[in-house]
């Protein structure tokens, strides 16, 4: 039995202006008909040879609770629990809260922690990878899923292996976890050939991740334990206690725990994976025409190459002429025009806009 924990409390700022503070990317149908969140839930609810998924625990921010409930209803999936954070404190507290909550029933419970901003082309291959990870989990490992890098990406964490075996049947121990390197380091790691991208999907027993938090992030323990034990049910949501949560510090699971832990194992995953983190990833993920041009919303393009041109609202006429490596995303109240190579910098722009108020 595997207990899925789905994280969907992030704000997705690099996909502005489509992804907004009040309605972030995971709740938008970016590619295909379902939203990324819905696809994340669906692929962890189908049984597969040897894996039985329990009802998922969804961890999200208070602002998104009704979106979550509505999107689950649309796909006809009953969540086990929707756990609500009074404020976003990044992934470490979200995962710790879920682990505490699930450990109350059984500390041996196996958690499959999954983000909700990914596209996985082959769910069957993913299930097979999860199955490979289970033996390592039984041995007390914290298991990550690694993807072979195809470019020097600075938006991902990297997993260093002793050697990269040709055929991988089981989880292998990890040498080192490196979260979001700079470009020089990313180029180096790609050339070395013994690094995989961290997919951000984790598999472990509740008691083992709790032990890791005890060791590497002991200050998170008291306020998160407190917030879980005094959580209150409200309209079908389980709300973590706001007073206790106020003392919880911001921390990512990657730099807070995974970079420090010495019991990590990795299952290489080759089923096709993308984090739709920024517009260049959306462009790469959507089949472009022969010129590498991706459009949406009926935008008209003339003599453009390697560009993403999206009209994101009805009755919006959009035209691109002679563009190279440009992304243009237009909405009724906001327009982004940028160099495709600067996709990560949208985050900085959003921070500046928030300052402006």
Question: Nearest to residue 143, comparing CAs of 211, 207, 200?
Answer: 200
Map residues 142-181 to x or -, x wherever contact with ligand GDD holds by CB under 6 A.
Answer: --------------xx---------------------x--
Task: Find which of Mg ion, ligand GDD, none residue 60 binds, CB within 5 to 8 Å per kind.
Answer: ligand GDD
Question: Nearest to residue 9, comparing CAs of 355, 248, 311, 313?
Answer: 248
**What are the tokens at 9?**
């409390």
User: How long a stretch of residues is the chain?
Assistant: 357
Task: Find which of Mg ion, ligand GDD, none residue 133 binds, CB within 5 to 8 Å per kind.
Answer: none
Query: Minimal distance in Å, beta carbon 275 to Mg ion?
Result: 4
For Mg ion, the closer CB: 276 or 329: 276
For ligand GDD, the closer CB: 192 or 313: 192
For Mg ion, the closer CB: 155 or 316: 155
Q: Which stretch binds Mg ion (CB under 5 A): 65-73, 136-144, 275-283, 288-296?
A: 275-283
Q: Which stretch binds ligand GDD (CB under 6 A): 6-14, 43-51, 134-142, 310-318?
A: 6-14
**What are the tokens at 113?**
């922690």
Query: Minimal distance in Å, beta carbon 113 to Mg ion?
Result: 13
Interaction of residue 280 with Mg ion, rule CB under 5 A: no
- DSSP letter for 255, please: I
Q: Nearest-5° angle of CA 133, CA 220, CA 242? A: 110
**What are the tokens at 18?**
């489509």
Phi, psi of 155 (to 5 degrees): -90, 0
Q: Which stretch binds ligand GDD (CB under 6 A): 46-54, 198-206, 229-237, 346-354?
A: 198-206
Using the rule CB under 6 A, which residue among 39, 85, 208, 280 binds ligand GDD? Answer: 85
CA distance to 104, 105, 232, per residue, from 227 (Å)? 13, 17, 9
Phi, psi of 73 (to 5 degrees): -60, -40
Phi, psi of 305 (to 5 degrees): -135, 145
Interaction of residue 24 with Mg ion, rule CB under 5 A: no
Burial call 184-213: b when 16+ CB within 10 Å, e when fewer: eebeebbeeeebbbbbbbbbbbbebbbbbb
Count Cα atoms within 13 angstroms, Cβ side, for 228. Answer: 21
Q: How many residues belong to the site for ligand GDD (CB under 6 A)?
A: 26
Phi, psi of 317 (to 5 degrees): -85, 130
* Cis preceding linkage at 17, omega within 30: yes
Interaction of residue 280 with ligand GDD, rule CB under 6 A: no
Using the rule CB under 6 A, which residue among 198, 226, 295, 307 binds ligand GDD? Answer: 198
Pairing status of strand 142-147 against strand 264-268: parallel
Map the footprint of ligand GDD across residues 7-26, applying CB under 6 A: 7-10, 26
Interaction of residue 275 with Mg ion, rule CB under 5 A: yes
Q: Which stretch binds ligand GDD (CB under 6 A): 193-201, 291-299, 304-312, 347-355?
A: 193-201
Interaction of residue 277 with Mg ion, rule CB under 5 A: yes
Q: Which stretch binds ligand GDD (CB under 6 A): 109-117, 237-245, 309-317, 331-339?
A: 109-117
User: How far apart are alpha carbons 268 and 172 in whole angstroms?
Assistant: 9
Q: Which stretch binds ligand GDD (CB under 6 A): 74-82, 168-176, 195-203, 259-267?
A: 195-203
Using the rule CB under 5 A, which residue among 117, 208, 254, 312 binds Mg ion? Answer: 117
For ligand GDD, the closer CB: 316 or 349: 349
CA distance to 140, 144, 298, 299, 337, per residue, from 201 (Å)? 17, 6, 35, 35, 32
For Mg ion, the closer CB: 203 or 299: 203
Contact 11, 21 (CB under 8 A): yes
Instruction: Tell me which residues touch ligand GDD (CB under 6 A).
Output: 7-10, 26, 59-60, 85, 88-91, 94, 115-117, 156-157, 179, 197-200, 254, 275, 277
């Amino acid at each position: 039995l595997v207990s899925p924990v789905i994280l969907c409390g992030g704000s997705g700022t690099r996909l502005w202006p489509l992804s907004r503070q009040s309605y972030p990317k995971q709740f938008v149908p970016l590619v295909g008909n379902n939203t990324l969140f819905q696809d994340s839930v669906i692929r962890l609810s189908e049984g597969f040879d040897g894996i039985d998924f329990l009802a998922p625990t969804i961890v999200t921010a208070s602002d998104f609770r009704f979106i979550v409930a509505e999107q689950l209803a649309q796909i006809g999936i009953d969540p086990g629990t929707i756990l609500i954070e009074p404020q976003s404190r990044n992934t470490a507290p979200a995962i710790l809260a879920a682990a505490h909550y699930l450990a109350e029933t059984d500390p041996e419970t196996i958690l499959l922690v999954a983000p909700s901003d990914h596209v996985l082309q082959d769910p069957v291959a993913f299930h097979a990878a999860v199955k490979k990870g289970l033996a390592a989990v039984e041995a007390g490992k914290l298991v990550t899923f690694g993807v072979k890098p195809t470019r020097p990406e600075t938006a991902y964490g990297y997993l260093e292996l002793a050697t990269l075996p040709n055929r991988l049947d089981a989880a292998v121990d990890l040498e080192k976890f490196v979260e979001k390197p700079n470009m020089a380091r990313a180029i180096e790691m790609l050339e070395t050939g013994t690094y995989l991208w961290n997919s951000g999907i984790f598999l472990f027993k509740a008691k083992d991740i709790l032990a890791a938090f005890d060791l590497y992030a002991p200050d998170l323990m008291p306020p998160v334990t407190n917030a879980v034990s005094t959580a209150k049910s409200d309209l079908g949501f389980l709300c973590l206690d706001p007073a206790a949560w106020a003392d919880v510090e911001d921390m990512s699971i990657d730099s807070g725990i995974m970079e420090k832990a010495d019991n990590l194992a990795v299952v290489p995953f080759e089923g096709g994976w993308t984090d739709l983190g920024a517009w260049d990833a959306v462009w790469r993920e959507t089949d472009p025409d022969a010129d590498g041009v991706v459009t949406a919303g009926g935008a008209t393009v003339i003599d453009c190459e390697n560009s993403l041109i999206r009209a994101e609202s009805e009755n919006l006429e959009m035209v691109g002429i002679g563009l190279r490596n440009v992304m243009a995303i237009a909405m009724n109240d906001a327009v982004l025009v940028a160099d495709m190579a600067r996709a990560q910098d949208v985050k900085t722009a959003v921070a500046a806009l928030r300052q402006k108020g």
